[in-house]
């Protein structure tokens, strides 16, 4: 027997001894779980390869953090409480559950237990929060923060909130963007609206996420810990919560994809470099910011209204290349050019474009997500004039329009934002909230104003390229509330027909005449579908057009998650009321003698027949009602035993009436009406009055009587009837005073577990109103019915009011989401803001979010986080002064491989005189620059693919040069040689075709073979392909060149040809080539195939010296005869793309065909050479091979080739 021992606390403990818990810290945690606890003890880590341990709290596993755990302690994150107590999200009690540790050894499973307490009152809560944020924005959460120190708090954006997760937001050290919390003071107790500011991570992609707050009691203060409660309630339209500050706890909503979220993380643009570029495109842009996707295809970029081709991206940077502006703008620019210089060849050049003040005016002027806010003071209001020159404050609001300067920025918002009123009080102002709504669906849109303070109107207009169209007043509203209903006044506009992707301008004018301010806008949408598709209609042709990439298509069937948040909820209000009043007794004293210089004495009120109470309640005729009330309360609390007190609070009304007697004195009647401020079922003891110390007349008398009994104390149940959508009736008994949770349970448990409702209760004495919002079932719910005949009370009345009909065909967005809006740049003060960079990012859920323009960095004022940002941060412009212009060009062929290109124009030296900053390509072929001036570029290019091409000039940092001519350069295709000339009839041989102008999409076929030669490698001077098997046994030598149509041809129009110009055959004069080039075959070119490869280069050279020298030595001349380069451009071009079919031949052709594209090009024929002429019977082999079998398809694979190589 082997015994393993270890020493703990000085005693020997066997390794196989059971585990033991000594303590748990902290011993209590939040009901949502996530509390980091440490279980102290020993024997947790048993010896042996099979040893492991698990922890359970309340029967649920506690997530062990093994890094911090050992034999003497276990660290784990508590699970969410699942007991009945914890199901109520407002529960504030404490409930102890079992904490069990099980250790598995090779022998058995050992366990130990203790208790852990779930505490509702120590559970942190998030009550309010920013719903939208971005990289440098300072956002906030507010609620019950049960932490002692700021270090105990962590805010996570998505990712589940695991400790150490990279998605933790920045909250800083104490004194940075947050002050220190309570320390050991315990002041947080009962303070449930503490604000913590944060900045989201900059190393994560934008999208919709769920925010979580986690508090840990790391300093062992003994306060709350764990994940905070959030409140995903579904409130009715314009619900006002118990705080009365217009904020609500509806922290969750759903994006268009159906993904639920509590915070939307926008992408952010902080800088665009360079900020200007060529109107021809080609500018390499770097967009810096945050929230971009590392998957380049998920970033959609526009600059100056044009798409920018994304090249690379990470979380903080996008690199893209601009494209040219639209054709109409290019034509407009060309019309502004003035030609002022004549070249040597007679062509003219435009003046340098940097002298032309031309800037692209983009019709796409869409700004950041959000609203543009402008404020005027009351001087403008009284004058009824609101020009931009009188604007006192303007800023962008990148949030949903559920906003109040007082509530969101603070009571000193004017100082915080720099608002300077010239009309005195800053809370008197007029504001315009303007946005461009991007319709997510085709359908009818209804706009709602709610909770406005004091007056608001919504105006709408169609979006046009020139800005907003004629405005129409949609709806107006003033602040008012229906009586006894905890719902604000809601005003609805008429419907507006919009199509998916359409932009519609909204302007909300708010007038605030002092005090707090607030405005909230919502929209209801009735989508329209055609053939199962939410469509986009072309206004001109009434047809279907393709959606822009940044607009998501909409499915006809919305997800359950989406409908949970955005279906129009059925809302019904149950009302139960009855008379309520308190008991009243009246004391009347007649005949009190009063008058000048007369002491009337005093009297005493006796309570509950206790004479001692008169010692405190001694009063005079002149005692006020409040003095009488205070004396009575003093008497009760001083002389009556607490167990006998019937009522300890009284309100008194006093009345006196005086008459003059015959002797000149006065007789006064004193009447005191006493209301007992306490509910009672049985009548109170009558009050008494002692008048012995009063000076009265002969008829001094007093009386006490009960003038009103307390209202009947209510009791009993009322009957609630619910008829479902299948017409099944369910009746349940409901207590007359059911609280919110009880009413919710009645619907969800007693009526049907399939029902899901939110209940809000408004109570005023014996009047009750339950607002029932049906989450499930969705859509229309038949009207509920109440029978209150069994409720005991005075004048009991009941009613059911349908506040809103539910609908599954209408969608509800409250407030209008910020991702559905754009700041209208044309409403801003300066035209410099018109051409902006736009970044759309497709998140993991599929939702597409637009960027916020903000280069302000981290603001020092936390409250300004949601109102900061500058649209000029995204500025980008296409401008003429940074655009090079190509006016014309020409070409000269140097030899069989190289061509000289001459390019004329202006602004070629925008980046400097170093030619390294300029690149010239022709059909993607690099052209080596040999001569470089501001108005001229000379370069040499190797073989260019066959076709019409335009040279492309690219200037580093500026982009492409604009081609101001319709001319093109024609490059011919020639086949020089093929190697090898003989190959296997079984195919599979690699053949190299040498030539000039060869295209990558050529179709190479050999005569008599239907299957093309498979291209395995291409460049414009050589194609390597793998031959197919021959479809015939033998091929005879041709007697002459084939007359059939050539078959080396592109499958389609070459991609290297211009995509926009020329659109037709150019009508320009032919190009002029050097006259020194030979027009006939040189004498030194052999007329027959040479017997060996030449030992020196061919001597075919132009008679004139080329303008440049090739960058490399040309390859040796081919072993077969080549055609002569034509001396001039063909007089016309073929309307169909010419093709050339190669033909292998054992002999040189008898003549050299012309290279004019109208004639047949040179061809070759593949020859398969047999060992001897075949016999008459093709199925037999020649006599020289008598042992060979007939040429038939073998039944099995041969072991060797049946043909001689």
Give the pLDDT confidence score for residue 1055 in this predicted structure: 44
pLDDT of 816 over the 70 cut = yes
- Exposed, middle or buried, 601 (CB in 10 Å: 0-12/13-18/19+)? middle
pLDDT of 364 over the 70 cut = no
**How much is the pTM?**
0.73
pLDDT of 1192 over the 80 cut = no
User: What sign has the CA pseudo-torsion 24, 25, 26, 32?
Assistant: negative
Report the percent of the chain where pLDDT is more than 70.
73
pLDDT of 958 over the 80 cut = yes
Tell me the CA distances in angstroms from 151 to 154, 174, 178, 182, 218, one per residue in order: 8, 8, 11, 12, 8
Dihedral-angle region of residue 1065 (phi above 0 means left; psi in -120 to 50 means alpha; beta otherwise): beta
Give the pLDDT confidence score for residue 158 in this predicted structure: 85
Band of pLDDT at residue 1184, cut at 50, 70 and 90: very low
User: What sign has the CA pseudo-torsion 824, 830, 833, 835?
Assistant: positive
Average pLDDT over residues 259-279: 91
Could you give the CA distance from residue 768 to residue 745 in angstroms, rounded to a whole number?
17
Pairing of strands 20-25, 36-42: antiparallel
What is the CA 725 to chain-centroid distance, rounded?
A: 37
pLDDT of 1047 over the 80 cut = no
Could you give the CA distance from residue 1086 to residue 17 in angstroms, rounded to a whole number?
103
Band of pLDDT at residue 1113, cut at 50, 70 and 90: very low
pLDDT of 580 over the 60 cut = yes
pLDDT of 1078 over the 60 cut = no
Instruction: Tell me the per-residue pLDDT of 501-550, one tens digit each, with 9 for 90 and over.
Output: 888 999 999 988 887 788 888 899 998 877 666 665 444 334 445 567 77
Phi and psi for 831 in degrees, rounded to 5? -70, -10
For 354-363, 379-388, 866-875, which range has the lowest pLDDT when averaged over its residues? 354-363
Neighbour-count burial for 1170-1190, b at 16+ CB within 10 Å, e otherwise? eeeeeeeeeeebeeeeeeeee
Tell me the CA distances in angstroms from 254 to 146, 238, 549, 1076, 1193, one per residue in order: 29, 18, 21, 76, 68
Report the percent of the chain where pLDDT is more than 90.
34
Residue carrying the six token digits 């004018």: 509
Residue carrying the six token digits 């009365």: 244
Helix residue ranges per DSSP H, 570-662:
625-639
Band of pLDDT at residue 348, cut at 50, 70 and 90: low
Give the pLDDT confidence score for residue 463 in this predicted structure: 75
Could you give the CA distance from residue 321 to residue 959 in angstroms, rounded to a whole number?
8
Contact status, residue 153 vs residue 213, Cβ threshold 8 Å? yes
What residues are paired with 1071 via a beta bridge?
none
Residue carrying the six token digits 């044309």: 826
What is the CA 611 to chain-centroid distance, rounded?
A: 76
Pairing of strands 268-273, 852-853: parallel
Higher pLDDT, 955 or 1167: 955
pLDDT of 552 over the 90 cut = no
For 126-135, 546-555, 655-664, 722-731, which range has the lowest pLDDT when averaged over its residues? 546-555
pLDDT of 629 over the 60 cut = yes
Give the containing element (helix H, strand E) for 381: helix 378-383
Give the pLDDT confidence score for residue 293 in this predicted structure: 95
Instruction: Tell me the per-residue pLDDT of 975-991, one tens digit each, with 9 for 90 and over.
Output: 999 999 888 889 999 99
pLDDT of 6 over the 70 cut = no
Could you give the CA distance from residue 612 to residue 164 in angstroms, rounded to a whole number?
71
Phi and psi for 1199 in degrees, rounded to 5? -85, -20
Nearest C-alpha neighbor of 256 from the set 681, 813, 695, 711:
813
Contact status, residue 955 vs residue 982, Cβ threshold 8 Å? no
Instruction: Tell me the per-residue pLDDT of 635-662, one tens digit each, with 9 for 90 and over.
Output: 888 888 888 899 989 999 999 998 888 7
Task: Provide the strand spans (E) within 617-684.
Answer: 618-619, 650-660, 666-676
Contact status, residue 953 vs residue 885, Cβ threshold 8 Å? no
* Structure-derived torsion over alpha carbons of residues 1088, 1093, 1094, 1095, reported in degrees to the nearest 10: -160
* Structure-derived torsion over alpha carbons of residues 719, 724, 730, 732, reported in degrees to the nearest 10: -40
Average pLDDT over residues 1130-1146: 37
Query: Nearest 5 degrees, angle CA 149-CA 153-CA 158?
Result: 175
Could you give the CA distance from residue 116 to residue 100 in angstroms, rounded to a whole number?
10
Tell me the CA distances in angstroms from 10 to 5, 7, 73, 1055, one per residue in order: 12, 6, 18, 85
Give the pLDDT confidence score for residue 808 in this predicted structure: 86
pLDDT of 1160 over the 90 cut = no
Tell me the CA distances in angstroms from 107 to 17, 48, 50, 581, one per residue in order: 11, 10, 9, 75
pLDDT of 1061 over the 60 cut = no
pLDDT of 1005 over the 80 cut = yes
Tokens encoding 471: 């405005």
Could you give the CA distance from residue 878 to residue 360 in angstroms, rounded to a whole number?
5
Tell me the CA distances in angstroms from 1203 to 1145, 1168, 1171, 1189, one per residue in order: 21, 11, 10, 11
Give the pLDDT confidence score for residue 1149 in this predicted structure: 37
Instruction: Tell me the per-residue pLDDT of 1014-1028, one tens digit each, with 9 for 90 and over.
Output: 999 998 889 999 999
What is the CA 469 to chain-centroid distance, rounded?
A: 28
Other beta carbons less than 10 A from residue 717's beta carbon: 15
Tokens encoding 800: 């059911």
Average pLDDT over residues 232-252: 47
Could you give the CA distance from residue 700 to residue 590 in angstroms, rounded to a whole number?
5
pLDDT of 325 over the 50 cut = yes
For 463-472, 486-495, 650-659, 1048-1057, which range has the lowest pLDDT when averaged over its residues? 1048-1057
pLDDT of 190 over the 60 cut = no
Give the pLDDT confidence score for residue 466 in this predicted structure: 59
Band of pLDDT at residue 480, cut at 50, 70 and 90: low
Give the containing element (helix H, strand E) for 98: strand 94-104
Average pLDDT over residues 613-620: 80
Tell me the CA distances in angstroms from 679 to 290, 580, 717, one per residue in order: 62, 10, 20
Higher pLDDT, 633 or 91: 633
Give the pLDDT confidence score for residue 402 in this predicted structure: 85
What are the DSSP calls for 1017-1074, one per residue? Answer: EEETTEEEEEPPPPSSS--PPPSS---SPP--EESSS-TTS-SSS-SS---SPPPP--
For 56-60, 413-417, 644-648, 840-844, which range has the lowest pLDDT when averaged over its residues? 413-417
Could you give the CA distance from residue 1054 to residue 1048 in angstroms, rounded to a whole number?
13
Average pLDDT over residues 1159-1176: 39
pLDDT of 114 over the 80 cut = yes
Query: Which residues have C-beta within 8 Å of that of residue 51, sequence separation ≥ 6?
Result: 45, 103, 104, 105, 106
For 189-198, 518-527, 557-566, which range has the lowest pLDDT when averaged over its residues? 189-198
For 422-436, 697-711, 836-850, 1160-1174, which range has the lowest pLDDT when averaged over its residues? 1160-1174
Average pLDDT over residues 548-573: 80
Band of pLDDT at residue 85, cut at 50, 70 and 90: confident
Instruction: Tell me the per-residue pLDDT of 703-724, one tens digit each, with 9 for 90 and over.
Output: 999 999 999 989 999 999 998 8
Give the pLDDT confidence score for residue 75 in this predicted structure: 94
Band of pLDDT at residue 351, cut at 50, 70 and 90: low
Tokens encoding 566: 């955005």
pLDDT of 573 over the 80 cut = yes
Task: Provide the strand spans (E) within 4-62.
Answer: 5-8, 11-14, 20-25, 28-29, 36-42, 52-57, 60-61
Considering 174-188, 521-535, 897-911, the range whose residues carry the highest mean pLDDT is: 897-911
């Amino acid at each position: 027997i082997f015994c393993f021992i270890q020493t703990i606390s000085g005693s020997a403990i066997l390794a196989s001894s059971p585990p033991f818990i000594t303590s748990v810290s902290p011993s209590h945690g939040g009901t949502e779980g996530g509390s980091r606890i440490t279980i102290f003890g020993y024997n947790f880590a048993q010896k042996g390869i099979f040893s492991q341990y698990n922890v359970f709290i309340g029967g649920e596993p506690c997530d062990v953090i093994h890094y911090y755990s050992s034999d003497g302690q276990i660290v784990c994150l508590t699970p969410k409480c699942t007991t009945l107590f914890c199901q109520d999200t407002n529960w504030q009690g404490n409930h102890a559950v079992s904490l069990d540790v099980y250790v598995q050894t090779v022998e058995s499973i050992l366990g130990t237990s203790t208790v852990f307490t779930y505490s509702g009152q120590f559970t942190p809560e998030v009550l309010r929060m920013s719903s939208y944020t971005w990289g440098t924005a300072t956002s906030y959460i507010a609620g019950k923060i049960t932490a002692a120190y700021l270090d105990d708090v962590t805010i996570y954006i998505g990712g589940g909130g695991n400790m150490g997760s990279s998605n933790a937001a920045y909250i800083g050290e104490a004194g940075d963007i947050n002050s220190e919390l309570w320390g050991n003071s315990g002041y947080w107790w009962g303070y449930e609206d503490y604000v913590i500011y944060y900045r989201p991570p900059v190393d994560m992609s934008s999208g919709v996420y769920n925010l979580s707050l986690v508090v840990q009691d790391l300093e062992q203060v003994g306060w709350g810990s764990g994940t905070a409660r959030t409140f995903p309630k579904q409130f009715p339209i314009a619900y006002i919560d118990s705080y009365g500050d217009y904020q609500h706890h509806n922290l969750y909503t759903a994006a268009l994809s159906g993904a639920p979220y509590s915070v939307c993380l926008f992408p952010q643009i902080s800088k665009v470099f360079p900020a200007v570029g060529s109107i021809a495109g080609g500018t390499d842009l770097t967009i810096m910011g945050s929230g971009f996707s590392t998957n380049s295809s998920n970033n959609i970029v526009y600059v100056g209204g044009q798409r920018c081709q994304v090249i690379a991206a990470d979380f903080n940077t996008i690199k893209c290349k601009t494209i040219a502006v639209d054709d109409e703008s290019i034509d407009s620019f060309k019309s502004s050019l003035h030609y002022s210089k004549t070249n040597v060849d007679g062509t003219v050049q435009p003046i340098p474009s940097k002298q032309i003040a031309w800037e692209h005016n983009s019709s796409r002027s869409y700004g950041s997500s959000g609203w543009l806010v402008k404020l005027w003071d009351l001087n403008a209001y009284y004058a009824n004039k609101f020009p931009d020159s009188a604007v006192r404050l303007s800023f962008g609001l990148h949030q949903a329009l559920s906003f109040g300067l007082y509530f969101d920025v603070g009571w000193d918002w004017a100082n915080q934002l720099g608002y300077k009123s010239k009309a005195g009080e800053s809370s008197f102002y007029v504001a315009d909230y303007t946005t461009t709504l991007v319709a997510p669906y085709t359908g009818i849109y209804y706009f709602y104003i709610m909770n406005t303070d004091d007056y608001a109107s919504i105006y709408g207009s169609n979006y046009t390229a020139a800005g907003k169209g004629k405005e129409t007043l949609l709806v107006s509203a003033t602040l008012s509330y229906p009586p006894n209903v905890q719902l604000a006044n809601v005003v609805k506009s008429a419907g507006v027909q919009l199509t998916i992707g359409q932009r519609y301008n909204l302007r909300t004018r708010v007038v605030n005449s002092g005090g707090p301010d607030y405005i909230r806008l919502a929209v209801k949408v009735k989508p329209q579908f055609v053939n199962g598709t939410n469509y986009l209609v072309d206004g001109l042709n009434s047809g279907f057009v393709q959606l822009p990439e940044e607009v998501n298509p909409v499915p006809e069937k919305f997800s359950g998650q989406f409908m949970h948040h955005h279906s129009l909820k059925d809302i019904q209000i149950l009302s139960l009321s009855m008379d309520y009043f308190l008991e009243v007794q009246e004391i009347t004293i007649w005949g009190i003698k009063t008058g000048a210089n007369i002491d009337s004495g005093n009297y005493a009120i006796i309570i509950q027949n206790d004479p001692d109470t008169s010692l405190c309640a001694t009063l005079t005729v002149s005692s006020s009602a409040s003095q009488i009330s205070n004396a009575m309360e003093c008497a009760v609390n001083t002389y009556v035993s607490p167990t006998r007190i019937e009522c300890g609070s009284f309100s008194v009304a006093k009345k006196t009436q005086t008459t003059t007697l015959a002797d000149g004195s006065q007789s006064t009647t004193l009447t005191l009406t006493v209301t007992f401020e306490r509910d009672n079922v049985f009548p109170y003891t009558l009050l008494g009055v002692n008048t012995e110390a009063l000076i009265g007349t002969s008829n001094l008398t007093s009386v006490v009587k009960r003038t009103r009994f307390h209202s009947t104390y209510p009791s009993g149940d009322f009957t609630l009837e619910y008829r479902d959508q299948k017409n099944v009736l369910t009746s349940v008994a409901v207590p007359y005073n059911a609280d919110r949770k009880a009413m919710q349970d009645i619907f969800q448990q007693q009526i049907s577990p399939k029902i899901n409702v939110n209940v809000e209760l408004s109570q005023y004495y014996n009047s009750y109103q339950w607002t029932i919002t049906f989450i499930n079932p969705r859509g229309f719910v038949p009207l509920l019915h109440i029978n209150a005949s069994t409720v005991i009370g005075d004048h009991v009345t009941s009613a059911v009011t349908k506040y809103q009909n539910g609908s599954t065909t209408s969608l509800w967005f409250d407030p209008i989401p910020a991702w559905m809006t754009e700041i209208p740049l044309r409403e801003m003060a300066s035209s410099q803001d018109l051409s902006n960079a736009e970044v759309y990012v497709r998140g993991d859920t599929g939702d597409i979010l637009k960027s916020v323009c903000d280069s302000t960095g981290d603001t020092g004022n936390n409250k300004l986080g949601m109102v900061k940002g500058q649209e000029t941060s995204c500025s980008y412009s296409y401008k003429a002064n940074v655009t090079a212009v190509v006016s014309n060009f020409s070409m000269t062929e140097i030899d069989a491989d190289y061509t000289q290109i001459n390019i004329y124009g202006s602004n070629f030296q925008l980046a400097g005189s170093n030619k390294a900053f300029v690149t010239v390509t022709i059909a993607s072929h690099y052209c080596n620059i040999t001569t470089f001036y501001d108005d001229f570029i000379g370069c040499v290019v190797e073989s260019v693919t066959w076709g019409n091409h335009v040279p492309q000039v690219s200037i580093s940092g500026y982009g492409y040069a604009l081609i101001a001519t319709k001319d093109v350069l024609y490059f011919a295709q020639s086949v020089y040689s093929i190697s090898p000339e003989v190959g296997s009839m079984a195919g599979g041989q690699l053949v190299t075709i040498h030539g000039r102008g060869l295209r990558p999409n050529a179709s190479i076929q050999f005569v008599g073979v239907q299957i093309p030669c498979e291209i395995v490698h291409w460049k414009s001077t050589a194609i390597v392909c793998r031959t197919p098997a021959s479809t015939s046994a033998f091929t005879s030598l041709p007697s002459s060149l084939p007359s059939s149509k050539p078959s080396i041809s592109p499958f389609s129009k070459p991609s290297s040809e211009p995509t926009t110009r020329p659109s037709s055959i150019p009508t320009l004069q032919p190009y002029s080539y050097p006259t020194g080039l030979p027009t006939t075959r040189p004498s030194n070119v052999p007329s027959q195939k040479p017997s060996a490869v030449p030992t020196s280069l061919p001597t075919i050279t132009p008679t004139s010296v080329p303008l440049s020298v090739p960058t490399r030595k040309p390859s040796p001349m081919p072993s077969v005869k080549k055609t002569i380069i034509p001396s001039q451009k063909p007089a016309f071009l073929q309307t169909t793309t010419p093709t050339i079919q190669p033909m292998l031949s054992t002999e040189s052709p008898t003549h050299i065909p012309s290279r004019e594209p109208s004639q047949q090009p040179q061809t070759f024929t593949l020859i398969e050479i047999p060992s001897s002429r075949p016999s008459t019977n093709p199925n037999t082999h020649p006599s020289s091979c008598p042992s060979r079998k007939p040429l038939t398809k073998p039944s099995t694979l041969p072991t060797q080739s049946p043909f001689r190589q």
